[in-house]
Structure 1
Amino acid sequence: MNDDRTEGSMKKMKGDLKEGAGNLTGDSKLQSEGKADKAEGKIQNAIGGIKDALTGKGNP
């Protein structure tokens, strides 16, 4: 697993937390930031998966 996958997962988790906090507090800006972080994390994780597949590092 490469750094892109790790960082992508962390960004997605951070986005989940931000979006949840925004939902609880009714803060639409925080909700939007959370959604953006989640999307960025998903993309970065997917890129990492592609890199792993190309280099063969993702297979045990």
Structure 2
Amino acid sequence: MNENKFTQGNLDFEKMNATLANPDFANWYYNEMLNKSDVNLTMDEFVNIVNTYNSTKLQ
């Protein structure tokens, strides 16, 4: 994994940590993973899932 990729992508670690600590996110994430046949995620895929949650739930 290229660690620099995440710092270059302007990833907001504070927002990411707040999302991961949110019980609503945990429930939503669990349900999302129930519907996937392949639960082996890359870091990019996981970040995309968190960003999708943030973009749909914060509107």
TM range (shorter): 0.3 to 0.5
TM-score, normalising length from structure 1?
A: 0.34
TM-score normalised by structure 2 residue count:
0.34
Larger % of helix: which? 1
